[in-house]
Amino acid sequence: MLDFSLFVTFFPQLVAGPIVRAPQFLPQCKTPRQTAADHFVWGLTLFLFGVFAKAILADVGLAPVVDRVYADPAAFAAADAWLAVLAFSGQIFFDFAGYSLCAIGAAMTLGFSLPDNFHCPYGALGFSDFWRRWHISLSSWLRDYLYFSLGGNRVRPLRTVFNLVLVMVLGGLWHGAAWTFALWGIIHGALLAMEHGVKHAAGFRLESSAAKLALMLATFLLVSLTWMPFRAQGFENLAAMAAALVRSDGVAVLDQSSRIAVAGIVSAMLVWHILAREIRLEQLFERFSPMVRGSVIAGLTISVVLFSNGDSRAFIYFQF
């Protein structure tokens, strides 16, 4: 009972993950926790990265544009609607990954190790690769406890398609009991099934760097579009956003500073995900001198203090 209580009440990841399994966590409770100085500093750095991602990039840089366009899609030109779609891709990443970084960092300062939860998902080569990089603890849980239990891909092709779609629909409904979340799951399940079929039938492999880059960009664009039912407040709002994307008339409403902010943040995020898809953030951080590391920590702290708008916008995952 004590072990179970420790497992379910460990506060850093209690609300929104990473989803830690008992075999990963309980062995760490068997011995007294000691935190080395370098682990404490790295944990603090991860926590600050998470706060910066959430409070500055997601809430200040991207959320206002997303909220404004989704509130009344019919009032915006197609360019603004597309910008909002891409902005939400950035917002949901920085929000979700920001919380995970805070949880992992806080746990590390206490001497505990939690698994990585996001690893450059927008640099993915296809949807299966995306789900190996996005909310890793959730996707691996769905794979191990649902997909494999249904037979995985060891069954007939049509059954494999059914398994993929069903698991993703259940994953969508896990986020909320709404038809828009079910639609999001159906779309992802269908795209995963299509990708599985193409790879199985054609032995699909990419060799050239240009082809890989094209697939990364195409995957990012498709993932961004699939976030629409996740963000929309019902099917009417979703239909209005879809219509706004292909509208030929309309006047641009967003101000230039908002466009520049969104374009800059999303572009930087995408470039980082593509270039760093095989690199761990900790490995990169270790290459710098202590002075540079200290400057990064100070810069993150100052940025959060100066540029956070003070709104009490909760993490998106708190609603699930």
Active-site residues: which are they?
175
DSSP structure string for 116-174: ---S-GGG-SSHHHHHHHSSHHHHHHHIIIIITTTTTTSS-HHHHHHHHHHHHHHHHHH
Rounded distance between C-alpha atoms, residue 201 and residue 104, angstroms: 40
Determine the residue type at 165.
V
Torsion over CA: 134, 138, 142, 144 (sign): positive
Phi-psi region of 111 (alpha: psi -120 to 50; beta: other; left: phi over 0): left
Q: In this structure, what DSSP letter does residue 15 have?
A: T
Q: In this structure, what DSSP letter does residue 234 have?
A: S
Whether 88 and 140 have beta carbons less than 8 Å apart is answered as: no
Torsion over CA: 218, 219, 220, 225 (sign): positive
Rounded distance between C-alpha atoms, residue 38 and residue 89, angstroms: 33
